[in-house]
Structure formats: C-alpha cells, structure tokens
Chains A and B, each alone.
Chain A
C-alpha cells in the first residue's frame, strides 16, 4: 500500500492501518509504505515494491517521469510511468475521496467531478485498476481537527487487491477470462463512459468472437474463453 508522505507526517494514516488489517483478513500480507512522490521514486523504493504481488496505490504517478519544468511545457514523456509498469504488478487504485463521510453517505450522486479527476481519470493514465473509494474526511469535534477515516468499502478494496495478487500464481491453463459487456439502458445513464462498448448500439458490433480475437495472448497461453448470454 502506497500513501502520501504528507498524510504520514500529519498522522493521517489510520485508514492505511485499517486497510492493512483488511488485507490480512482477506489472506494477504500487508506492507504499508509512504512516499513523497511516485514521479521520481527512489531506486530503493522500487526495489522494495518488487517484493509485492499487488500494490494498492493512492499516490499519483502520471504527470512526469521527471517533474515538469514549466506548466506550459507538456511532452509525451510527462505521462510516462514506465518505471512502475516495469514492476509488472497489478495496482488497484484505492480512491481517497475529498468528500466528507456524511456527504458520501447521504447522497446517491457518487464521486464528485474533483474525485473523478484525481481518483479515477489520472490513476487510469497511471495504468491502475480502478476500484472504489475507501477513505473520506471527517471532522473531529473534540480536537477541532480534520481527519481521514476508512469507510465500509475497505474490505472490497482489500479483497480485490488480494485476489489480483493471487491471480499471478494461477497458471493460464487454470484461469478463465470473463468479458462482461455492461448495458446502460438510457442516454442519461451514459455520462462519463468512454470505453466504446457502453451502449447497445455499440455492443451490436462487438461479438463474443471479437472478444476472443482480442485476447489472443490469453488464449495461446491456454486460458478458457467462454461466452454466456444473459
């Protein structure tokens, strides 16, 4: 688990300790690490990360292999996360929400645009596997302090991380791949979807055969690819 050093220094790592517990409960071993940045990670940090089978990352990496010299200069390399990709470790992104717990609990709107930008869009550029938010803000009335707290969704993030870690040791001949086409019935439900297979119209062109064709590496490696129609 990687989290920001600023939170470490501020003593705001209770939610990371809670995630450690959830990962152990799910059958994994927890290694909580704080770091100032993943743009230019120390070689020793990368070495330490090679011991992991999965990383739950809450620290952004994209935005440069090196910090940009100017906000106006953007080159292709500014989205380079080759040093992390080279670890070849699945990295579920644990979303650390900017919302307060009570805001999250009391409405059905889901993530705010700010959270979507920092906890979904940028992590996708980092190559992460998007999961769910597992930490929110709370006000501690006694200390008049702002705290970060874990949410009930903690077990979901921990479970996904441990299962991704286990998947590395399952040989392809024993693994199955499910390609799930989700359906969004109305136009209003399509907001924010961009992967190109969201709507019935787009789905018509995408058949099970396409799915098989798009997974040649898995099939060659011996994975079972089956289709089921709901």
Chain B
C-alpha cells in the first residue's frame, strides 16, 4: 500500500505484506510513475514479488518543477 504523496507513509508501509525494501522502492517511484517509470515499476513488482524474469530499470528522476516546452507532444 503506497501513498501518492512525496513522503513515504509509515502506516501504509506497515500494512504492506511485501518486504519493506520493495514497499519503499514502490513508494518512492509511485509519485513519479509517468509513462516509462510506470512500466518499469510494473516489471519491478512482477520480478520481485511474483519472481518473474521480465527485467527492469531503475526509475528515471523527474524534476520537481520545470518550464513547459510548448508545442511538444509527449
């Protein structure tokens, strides 16, 4: 169980049934779970919880704020 807020939530972490390291990684990735980070998070959880072998990359850091580049379709 993870929160969408920036800071980890001890209570939600405590209620999670996966190892603390997995919950912490998920918590830190979830607020920046855009496009590719979301895909990588899915693979991370599959591999570490369900023991699949998809393979995953660490989440890409996204700045907290920035200037919108206009006319660029994401």
Contact B65–A32 (Cβ < 8 Å): no
Contact B32–A9 (Cβ < 8 Å): yes
Per-residue CB contact flags for chain B residues 10-45 toward chain A (1 = under 8 Å, else 0) read: 000000000000000000000110110000000000
Residue of A nearest to B11 (CB): A70
Cβ < 8 Å to B, chain A residues 11-26: 11, 13, 16-17, 20
Contact B66–A34 (Cβ < 8 Å): yes
Per the bound structure, the CA–CA distance linking A118 and B2 in Å amounts to 23
Per the bound structure, the CA–CA distance linking A67 and B5 in Å amounts to 10
Per the bound structure, the CA–CA distance linking A58 and B21 in Å amounts to 35
Known: A5-B62, A17-B71. A37 touches B34 (CB 8 A): no
Q: Which residue of the partner chain, among A16, A31, A35, contacts B64 with CB atoms under 8 Å?
A: A35
Indicate whether B50 reaches chain A with its CB closer than 8 angstroms.
no
Instruction: List residues of chain A with CB within 8 A of the CB of B67.
Output: 31-33, 48
Per the bound structure, the CA–CA distance linking A13 and B34 in Å amounts to 14
Cβ < 8 Å to B, chain A residues 27-50: 31-37, 41-42, 44-45, 48
Q: Which residue of the partner chain, among B5, B7, B35, contacts A9 with CB atoms under 8 Å?
A: B35
Instruction: List residues of chain B with CB within 8 A of the CB of A20.
Output: 68, 70
Contact B74–A32 (Cβ < 8 Å): no
Indicate whether A8 reaches chain B with its CB closer than 8 angstroms.
yes
Per the bound structure, the CA–CA distance linking A16 and B7 in Å amounts to 27
Per the bound structure, the CA–CA distance linking A13 and B66 in Å amounts to 13
Q: Which residue of the partner chain, among A11, A31, A41, contacts B65 with CB atoms under 8 Å?
A: A41
Residue of B nearest to A10 (CB): B34
Q: Which residue of the partner chain, among B7, B32, B35, contacts A67 with CB atoms under 8 Å?
A: B7
Q: Which residue of the partner chain, among B31, B68, B70, B74, contacts A36 with CB atoms under 8 Å?
A: B31
Instruction: List residues of chain A with CB within 8 A of the CB of B6.
Output: 36-37, 67
Q: Which residue of the partner chain, among B34, B62, B64, B70, contacts A17 with CB atoms under 8 Å?
A: B70
Interface residues, chain B, CB within 8 Å of chain A? 5-7, 31-32, 34-35, 62, 64-68, 70-71, 73-74
Interface residues, chain A, CB within 8 Å of chain B? 5, 8-11, 13, 16-17, 20, 31-37, 41-42, 44-45, 48, 67
Those 9 A-B pairs whose CB atoms lie nearest each other, nearest first: A9-B34, A11-B74, A35-B65, A32-B68, A36-B64, A45-B65, A17-B70, A33-B67, A13-B68
